[in-house]
Amino acid sequence: MILPSILNSIQIYLKLISIQIRAQLQYPVSFVFDVLTQGINAILFFVATVMIFQRFQSIGGWTLGEIAFLWGLIEMSFGTMDMIFSGFDPDSFSTHIQVGSFDQLLLRPINITLQVLGSKFVIRRLGRFIQGVIIFIIGVSLSQVNWTVGKIVYLPVVFISQILFFGGLFILGSTITFWTVQSVETVNILTYGGSEMTAYPMSIYPPWLRNFFTYIVPALFLNYAPALYFLNKPDPLHLPSFAPFLTPFTSIALLMAALLFWRIGIQHYQGTGS
């Protein structure tokens, strides 16, 4: 009896998403412009960095190509996550809480997590994914990655792990709004801050910052550690040799913790009474 219910859930989810997609494609010109601007802003940041590198050559022992590898990979996964987990974006989720539409979702006989996930699907975030792909390709070709079967197999694992990791942080941020009603801007430190931070090698940050993003939020294993393996880089932090392969485990652990917190949050939810 479990399989049909899963299939049913997937069907409902796809239906919710397809409504979103059709709605957003109603104004095609505006949509294309939205996708382009999503991408262009991030590309501008990268172009600025490329020009700066003409003067500086490297950052903490990492070349431009290696930085582009880190940067592109995290942009691809963050962009994809931002699209899939749009419903859990704390800013938009908090509106559900504020106007009381979350109560409506609770009344429907469909899994609540699925509904929130399907409540928003911002396809213009594809722009961020696409520019991530461009930066990643530049990174791979400049840094001349020595591809092995292991690396080719592990790359998609890291990509999916990063999506789940940031998705987990979005769920955490949204759950907090059960208590705070308004979204808490400081959560951005973990989500947008985490993605910006992991676009650079973690070895450049002061120890207190790095420790926070290792032991409290395990972002160290998200991008930096696997990149050491992909790029055959020596590690000034002297992480254990299995550290590059912790990425899926830390991400799944974080997502599980977030979902547990989410469940507790729902039980405590009382509504804003509007």
Partner 1 sequence: MVSYWHVFKLSFQRQLTYRTANIAGLLTNLFFGLLRASVLIALYGSRLEVNGITLQGAVTYTGVTQALIAYLSLFGWWDLMNSVYKGSVAVDLLKPMNYFSFWLAQDLGRSLACFFLRGVPLLIGYAIFYPIYVPNKPDQLAVLGLALILSMLTSFAWRFLVNLAAFWTPNAQGIGRFAFGLSWFLSGFIMPLRFFPDWFVRIANFTPFPSMINTIIEIYLGVIRGPDSLQALLIQAVWFMGLVLVCQLVLKAGLHTLVIQGG
Give the residue with the Cβ less far from partner 1, 19 or 47: 47
Give the residue with the Cβ less far from partner 1, 96 or 124: 124
| Binding status of residue 56 toward partner 1 by CB under 8 A | yes
| Binding status of residue 235 toward partner 1 by CB under 8 A | no
Give the residue with the Cβ less far from partner 1, 184 or 252: 184
**Token pair listed for 265:** 């949050």
> What is the rounded distance in angstroms from the CA atom of residue 155 to the CA atom of residue 139?
14
| Binding status of residue 33 toward partner 1 by CB under 8 A | yes
Give the shortest CB-154-to-partner 1 separation in angstroms. Answer: 27
Give the shortest CB-248-to-partner 1 separation in angstroms. Answer: 26
Give the shortest CB-226-to-partner 1 separation in angstroms. Answer: 20
CA dihedral 22, 128, 34, 187 (to 10 degrees): 90
| Binding status of residue 147 toward partner 1 by CB under 8 A | no
Tell me which of 11, 18, 186, 272 binds partner 1, using CB under 8 A: 186
**Token pair listed for 127:** 């722009």
Give the shortest CB-128-to-partner 1 separation in angstroms. Answer: 12
> What is the rounded distance in angstroms from the CA atom of residue 263 to the CA atom of residue 9?
18
Which of 229, 227, 204, 203 has the alpha carbon at shortest distance from 66? 227
Contact between residue 259 and residue 113 where contact means Cβ atoms under 8 Å apart: yes
Which of 215, 200, 158 has the alpha carbon at shortest distance from 52? 200
Residues in the chain, total: 274
> What is the rounded distance in angstroms from the CA atom of residue 144 to the CA atom of residue 22?
41
Region 198-217 residues binding partner 1, contact defined as CB under 8 A = 200, 204-206, 209
Give the shortest CB-62-to-partner 1 separation in angstroms. Answer: 9
| Binding status of residue 100 toward partner 1 by CB under 8 A | no
